[in-house]
Amino acid sequence: MARQRLGQHFLQDLHWREEIARAIRVSPHSTAPLPRDDQHCWIEVGSGHGEMTAHLLSTGSLVYAVEIDSSLIASLHRLAQKFPNLNVVSGDILNADIAAIAAGRRIRIYGNLPYYITSPILHHLFTFAEQIDEIHIVIQTEVAHRLVAQPGGRDYGYLSVFTQFYSRPEFVFEIPRDAFAPPPEVTSALVTLRLPGERAKLSLSDETRFLDFVKLCFSKKRKTLVNNLRTLAKRDRVREALASLSLRPDARAEQLTASQLAALHSHLPAGLDFAS
């Protein structure tokens, strides 16, 4: 039985399980299935009853099934008796040391994420970005559009820049409500995040400070950057920085790419001066 407080919606539809397996290359029917001698391990976020776990195990790779619901652990251990390449990890993914679990192996991640903590999970996973090559997640369609949104679109915001800073996101396909039990109130989507993202092209001395800067830029989406950054630098200083980058003085964060935001950040180091 699904626990509402954990945001559980189990992928019961066999057709959609196979569609996902094909898309993430763990089905023998994939256009280009992963090689049998692949040295990556899989970390599955929220394995549930093992709805997708068997597909991951079929590749022969090591699979670490991370599950917070203690009532589901027993069934996963029974599955592990059939598949020696399955390791069950009982606990919260938000507290998991992904690098330690993988023990030096490169990582691929799959997860059917609870909608209400999608962003915190992504923030946690990206702290291990150096070890991860791919992340495949089933999430709320609305959030999926935000991850892949481009500058100028209504869905583009901090989460878009944050995700694209670490990865190259792709909206793969939408999944109907009735594919899950119980059905969620909204549609879902499979999104693939391939690492690295824009950060590989940028030279940033302090990534945390840059992301805090991006968050400030989007703090009031309808406001201009001159207004949103007034706690960081004087208005004239921001206008000068925008002009040096050939950007309009009334530019908004939603119009700038991650690289443009990084360039603006380099012109406005934190603590340089403050608005009067």
Give per-residue pLDDT as tens, 8-55: 789 999 999 999 999 999 999 999 988 877 889 999 999 999 999 999
Q: What secondary structure letter does DSSP report for 60?
A: -
**Short-list 213, 240, 182, CA closest to 2:** 182
Model pLDDT, residue 2: 42
Please name the amino acid found at residue 162: F
Q: For the domain covering 4-199, report its CATH number.
A: 3.40.50.150
Average pLDDT over residues 76-103: 95
- pLDDT cut 90: percent of the chain above it: 83
Rounded to the nearest integer, the mean pLDDT of the chain is 92
Phi, psi of 189 (to 5 degrees): -150, 150
**268 pLDDT more than 80:** yes
**6 pLDDT more than 70:** no
Give the pair of three-digit tokens for residue 38.
Answer: 């692949």
**Residue ranges per domain, the chain?**
4-199, 207-267
What is the spatial distance between Cα 25 and Cα 99, in angstroms, rounded to a whole number? Answer: 23
Does this model's pTM top 0.85? My answer is yes
Average pLDDT over residues 134-145: 97
**Short-list 234, 217, 100, CA closest to 160:** 217
What is the spatial distance between Cα 259 and Cα 273, in angstroms, rounded to a whole number? Answer: 23
The phi-psi region of residue 271 (left if phi > 0; otherwise alpha if psi is between -120 and 50; otherwise beta) is left
Fold assignment, 207-267:
Helicase, Ruva Protein; domain 3 (1.10.8)
Whether the CB-CB separation of 61 and 42 falls below 8 Å is answered with yes
**214 pLDDT more than 60:** yes
Average pLDDT over residues 249-256: 96
What is the spatial distance between Cα 193 and Cα 211, in angstroms, rounded to a whole number? Answer: 19
H/E element holding 244?
helix 235-244
The predicted-structure confidence for 97-121, as pLDDT tens digits, reads as follows 999 999 999 999 999 998 889 999 9
Angle (nearest 5°) at CA 33 between 27 and 35 = 120
**147 pLDDT more than 50:** yes
* Those residues with Cβ within 8 angstroms of residue 203's Cβ, 6 or more apart along the chain or in another chain: none
**5 pLDDT more than 70:** no
Buried b (16+ CB within 10 A) or exposed e, 211-247: bebbebbbeeeeebbbebbbebbbeebbbebbeeeeb
Q: What secondary structure letter does DSSP report for 223?
A: S
* Maximum Cα interatomic distance, the chain, rounded to a whole number of Å: 68
Confidence grade of residue 95 (pLDDT, cut at 50, 70, 90): very high
Q: Where are the beta strands (DSSP E) in the chain?
A: 10-11, 41-45, 63-67, 86-90, 107-112, 132-140, 168-175, 180-181, 188-194
Angle (nearest 5°) at CA 147 between 146 and 153 = 45
What is the spatial distance between Cα 162 and Cα 121, in angstroms, rounded to a whole number? Answer: 13
What is the spatial distance between Cα 60 and Cα 41, in angstroms, rounded to a whole number? Answer: 9
